[in-house]
Amino acid sequence: MKMMRLRSKKFSRSNSTNNKLENGDPPVVGGEIKWELRPGGMLVQKRECGDSGSSDCGEGMISLRVSTVSKSHDDISIQSTSTFGELKLMLSLVTNLEPNEQRLLFKGKEREDSEYLHMVGVRDKDKVLMLEDPAVKERKLVMGLAGVGGKVIGPPYQTITV
């Protein structure tokens, strides 16, 4: 059986026919290739802002609108490559709720602390909903109702029977 040698397809941005050096390597503009480690663990060539064709290149500060049940906090500035856990830390300074007492929802789904904002699709001026964790809220209510000596006072309502 005869082996056939396949030619590789060359993809380039330039119209030049000679886009390789003498040793066969592609030319390096600026001297050195810059690398970045993506959140998924993949090592890729660092993007330049002009290459993506958009005004932002996935990095930098973004401004978020965070709504709670009672009010809205506009213009929370954070890095677009941050996690929801880091956003919770920022919000704990504004709302006086600890990060473990917060639940963040984006596009109708609760987000984990380890999820990255840009990987989920959070962009500049997007809205994130923050809710207080119901279990923590109930625990605070029970602890607040505990009187002196550890006795629990009855509920704040009274049942009426007719």
pLDDT for the residue numbered 33: 81
pLDDT for the residue numbered 51: 46
Q: Is the pLDDT of residue 41 over 70?
A: yes
pLDDT for the residue numbered 143: 80
Cα torsion 12, 16, 19, 22 to 10°: value is 160
Six token digits for residue 128:
């994130």
Q: Which residue, 104, 65, 109, 70, is CA-closest to 84?
A: 104
Establish if 109 belongs to a structural domain. yes
Establish if 3 belongs to a structural domain. no
Instruction: Count the domains in the chain.
Output: 1
Six token digits for residue 78:
């954070």
Distance CA 38, CA 36 (A): 6
Establish if 91 belongs to a structural domain. yes
Rg (CA), the chain: 27
Establish if 47 belongs to a structural domain. no
CATH number at residue 112: 3.10.20.90
The mean pLDDT value for 31-46 works out to 80
Strand partners, 106: 109
- Per residue in 102-115, pLDDT (tens digit) is 899 999 999 999 99
Distance CA 116, CA 83 (A): 4
Establish if 45 belongs to a structural domain. no
Is the Cβ–Cβ distance between 120 and 106 less than 8 Å?
yes
Share of the chain above pLDDT 90, in %: 15
Establish if 18 belongs to a structural domain. no
Is the Cβ–Cβ distance between 125 and 117 less than 8 Å?
no
The mean pLDDT value for 133-144 works out to 81
Cα torsion 82, 86, 90, 92 to 10°: value is 160
Least confident of 14-28, 68-82, 140-154: 14-28
Establish if 155 belongs to a structural domain. no
Q: Is the pLDDT of residue 92 over 90?
A: no
Give kind and range of the element (H or E) at residue 78: strand 72-79
Higher pLDDT, 56 or 118: 118
Q: Which residue, 49, 44, 42, 110, is CA-closest to 80?
A: 49
Higher pLDDT, 145 or 54: 145
Instruction: Write out the residue range of the structural domain in which residue 126 sits.
Output: 61-139
Q: Residue 84: which pLDDT band, with cuts at 50, 70 and 90?
A: very high
Establish if 24 belongs to a structural domain. no
pLDDT for the residue numbered 70: 80
The mean pLDDT value for 113-141 works out to 87
